Amino acid sequence: MKKWYRLKNAIREHKGESTIIATVLLMAITLFCMSLTLNFVQQNLARHDGENDFTLAKTFMKNIGLSVDDVAWHPGQSDTIQYSSQSAEIHLRPRLIHYKIEVWKVGDHGYSTLKEYDTAVLFYDLPLAKYSLDNTYFEDILPSTMTQLIQNSTEAPITRVFAVQRPAITDENDYIKVGVASLFRSVQFQINADGVTTNYLKIYLANMTQGALTTANPRYITLTGTKVDASVINNVEHLRITISFPNSAIGYGSSFFNFPVTTQTIDFPVSGTEVELYIGSVQVGFLK
């Protein structure tokens, strides 16, 4: 009888231990599942926040591009735009695109250089840790489609706004970048006076340069038109524009900017055309 009671007690103790172990295992599994769920939710929230930042960045930089056009042709005019981001960086990087404008006049035997400019590009950098797509991503934002270097219309944008993600060559490339770069706009027309028809081509290009800079958390971008350089040349039979990339060695090359072409030529009637080139200088300032 004593043996029976001892066996019965042992079974009860064993059942009690099994219940405790099962409860502990159930709690561990529950906590593990909750941890996975919480991690999944946090990752999705973080990606959602990053996606929102990216969408806002594209809209913001498109507005910057349009503002450049507002001030570039009016020296002394300014436009100040506020921005707010906890993780993004906005900066102007100089000498990223080199523009060369050449003309071939009637009677000449080749091209001569009219103007050359190294232009800066304004970037809104969103860290890949915050939001990432893939290393082949590229999007033209303004204009939405590019087929040539010169946009021939009075309503054409004067800047190119684009978004890009490329493999990092240096630390500064480890971002999704939304950029604002200078773009050519042209207007071509004819004037007939006393039976004589004269062809005209006006070309516009904005040149962004560094303005006022604060080193402590800038929250405003100020765009200021400073001057307009004008060049006029008559009897032009051919005009050629070429772009190159002085900083391609650190990742800012042809594949990064993804221009549809790097050279564009415009041929005029043999009677020649009067070409007017306007370069509007815009200072980009960063203020608190």
pTM, to two decimals: 0.81
**Tell me, what's the pLDDT at 171?**
59
Domain ranges within the chain, ordered by starting residue:
44-287
- Tens of pLDDT along 14-72? 555 566 666 656 665 666 555 555 454 444 444 455 788 899 999 999 999 999 999 99
Q: What percent of the chain is helix, strand and coil (3-state, nearest 5)?
A: 30, 45, 25
φ, ψ (nearest 5 deg) of residue 216:
-115, 95
**Are 74 and 158 a contacting pair, CB within 8 Å?**
no
- Tens of pLDDT along 107-117? 899 999 999 98
In the DSSP assignment, the letter for residue 18 is H
**Greatest CA span in the chain, whole angstroms?**
134
* Residue labelled with tokens 């970048």: 177
- For residues 50 and 220, the model is more confident at 220
Indicate whether 124 pLDDT > 80. Answer: yes
Q: What percent of the chain is predicted at pLDDT more than 70?
A: 79
Of 36-45, 67-76, 220-229, 272-281, the poorest mean pLDDT is in 36-45
- For residues 97 and 196, the model is more confident at 97
Count of CB atoms situated within 10 Å of the CB of 90: 20
- Tens of pLDDT along 128-174? 888 888 889 999 999 988 889 999 888 899 999 999 998 877 756 68
